[in-house]
Amino acid sequence: MKISDIKALLNADVVCGEENLGHDVFSACGSDMMSDVLAYVKDQAVLLTGLVNSQVIRTAEMMDMVCIVFVRSKKPTADMIELARESGIVLMTTEKRMYEACGLLYKSGLVGNGVHHE
């Protein structure tokens, strides 16, 4: 799935990284606890979260994630946007809640746990 597909499925707005919307992604996770992301997430390209602070960007960067989607219309700060730009991470925001956003992506073939649908 391309990041542009995620944008369309979630009716999301791109905050930064629009030049990377053509990037392919194969898995995602949803969490507001960055400690869980660090402890349990492996090989996930997309993070869905409602947490808005710079640790989200730093965690995504450490985990080699390429896209963060903020749910519930959360908006990243200017500092977060700058960090994401420096790291080449796409930031998007959607009105959808975490459960619905994750469900839509999963139903469309974007899975978790590094499992790839062929």
- Number of domains, the chain: 1
Residues whose CB falls within 8 Å of the CB of residue 82, separated by 6 or more in sequence, listed in order: none
**Domain range holding 33?**
3-107
pLDDT recorded at residue 93: 98
Assign 118 a pLDDT band (cuts: 50, 70, 90): very low
Question: Would 12 be classed as within a structural domain?
Answer: yes
| CATH number of the domain to which 49 belongs | 3.40.1390.20
Q: Evaluate if residue 61 carries a pLDDT over 80.
A: yes
Question: Would 118 be classed as within a structural domain?
Answer: no
Question: Would 116 be classed as within a structural domain?
Answer: no
pLDDT tens per residue across span 20-47: 999 999 889 999 999 888 887 777 789 9
Q: Return mean pLDDT, the chain.
A: 92
pTM: 0.92
